[in-house]
Structure 1
Amino acid sequence: MNYVIRSVRAEEWAAARELRLLALRDPVAHLAFLETYEEALAKPDSFWRERSAGVAEGAEGAQQVIAEGPDGEWVGTMTVLVEEAGTKDWAGFPVDRLQGHVVGVFVRPECRGIGLTEVLLDAALEWAWGRGVERVRLIVHEENLRAQAFYRKAGFVPSGVVVPLTADPDARELEFVLERS
């Protein structure tokens, strides 16, 4: 595999924006992301600068890892956030222990099936474990069976926590967790 897996740098906000916009155009984006292409496109450059700085190399509370192709093009991304015990998560659920939360997973369709997602996940987990988290979790739409199969293969198991979606009251997100071994 001739790809570089590394943390994003703060000054690379424009590339991070472009990859996010591409991800939001994916046919299953409605199952994988909590925002639309139109919502992301409307955000000002200052938002993208701040977002990249908050997950860039050297940041303590979050890290975005990317897969960079042989020509320098970004072909995949994954972000892990640190959630502190005693806080509430994005859905309002209490966080009872120091944990990582994987979000924003995307690999370009032409690069899927070659192991990039596994390598991105390994890098994200290594970063999270290095921060002392007790477990890593992620939320997957109940209909996103491809993602569920990938995470199960990586050792994640359903926790039983179900997150209702406000945009679609009939849809649910399922929490999967990986305990530190």
Structure 2
Amino acid sequence: MAGAAPPSCDDFRMSYEIRPVRAAEWREIRDLRMYALQDEMAPLAFLSTHEEESAYSDEFWRERARTSSVDFGPEAVARQFVAVAGDGEWAGTTVTLIERAGQQDFEGRTIEHDGAHVVGVYLRPEHRGSGVIDGLFDAALGWAREGGLDRARLLVHRDNPRAQGAYRRQGFVPTGIAFTGKMGPELEMAREL
């Protein structure tokens, strides 16, 4: 229809189902992760490579799915959320990890505060700008709040302005902590829940 307004972000968000993954969906989890690891920004966004994770066994993927799924139960310390488009395509994902003060994070750094750590954020390029990232973060941070946490953090590569902008829109701000990690120069961003 000529002159019709483009759909709003809210219209696009309505066409996605945002939910926690199920343990039986290990193949879909694996396939989306393998797709994400081929993204041009993957070297600045993920701690692993497509080549490394291609060698992981089906059992590895089953266990990853099981322990981050809604099926794992209340003792879960990780929850993966997925955005499923109306046509069934897995459009994006994020994972929330529960961290406890005194533990070591995956960079080997001591965790200062109990909180959530958001990792594995990915949205297929054709779904970016649709507002679906808002729904993924709402779900991921909502799960952390339900678990009694009041703070969330994430790490982002210094040279990944696209991700930094997306995280700022979600209320994350730089904490002033910067370090050289496994992917190079990284910044910590955090927000209250």
Aligned residues between the structures:
177
- Tell me which residue corresponds to 1:14: 27
SS in 2 for 1:132: coil
Q: Which runs of 4+ in 1 moved over 3 A?
A: none
Q: Deviations over 1:124-178 (max 9, x none)?
A: 00001111113100000000001111111221111111231246xxx31110001
Q: Which structure has the larger Rg?
A: 2
Give 1:58 deviation, angstroms: 4.2
Q: Which of the numbers 110, 113, 123 marks the counterpart of 2:126?
A: 110
- Tell me which residue corresponds to 2:107: 91
Partners of 1:166 and 1:107 in 2: CA distance: 22
Amino-acid identity (%): 47
Partners of 1:93 and 1:166 in 2: CA distance: 12
The 5-angstrom pairing of residues 1-181 of structure 1 reads 1-59=14-72, 60-166=76-182, 171-180=184-193
Q: TM-score, normalised by structure 1?
A: 0.94
SS in 1 for 2:70: coil
Q: Deviations over 1:32-64 (max 9, x none)?
A: 101000001111111101111111014421100
8 A contact 1:97–1:134 mirrored in 2: no
Gaps of at least 5 residues in structure 2 are 1-13
RMSD over equivalenced CA pairs, Å: 1.2
Q: TM-score, normalised by structure 2?
A: 0.88
